[in-house]
Amino acid sequence: MADEEHNKPAAHSFLSYATEVARLMDLGHAPDVPEARRARHLAHAVRKPLLERTHLPEEFFAPLLAAAVHDPDPSFCRWYVEPAVYVFGRRRVMTALLDYLRTGTEAEQAGAKRAWYCAHVPLRADRSPAYAPGGSRDPAMDESHDVMAEWQETVRRSAM
């Protein structure tokens, strides 16, 4: 019972962010799905439509990253991270995750660490035409060596 109570606030946060992403995608909020399963249901509903988009409005960025960071299941946070990387760039996604690591709650820091792993998703031409030969993507959007170094330094400092 104590574990259930401990996980309730995190689950509610994930539900609110998953609901926001679904709302932005015009997919509704799945009121007929039991609340305990609603967040995962919404995550599943937005996964394919998000990956099919080569462009998302700016208003998607923060909710996508928040949903990824608050997703309690490390196997599924990629459903939010991957489309963010493809649309907004690896650099921006990693920078946002670094900010969560530096300033977030303990739960957000743990979520940022799970999402960080997913931010290294390989960039493939079959996922976005921008990566095809002759694609028009600015390589600076995915340049992230300096952000990775900052991440490692932040992790090192927090371990001290």
Q: What is the mean pLDDT of residues 127-132?
A: 66
Whether the CB-CB separation of 14 and 70 falls below 8 Å is answered with yes
pLDDT tens sequence across 71-125: 998 889 999 999 999 999 999 999 999 999 999 999 999 999 999 999 999 887 7
Q: Which residue has the tokens 């997919």?
A: 27
The CA-based angle 34-7-96, given to 5 degrees, is 100
Considering only CA atoms, give the Rg of the chain.
16
Q: Is the pLDDT assigned to residue 3 strictly greater than 50?
A: no
Q: What is the mean pLDDT of residues 49-66?
A: 92
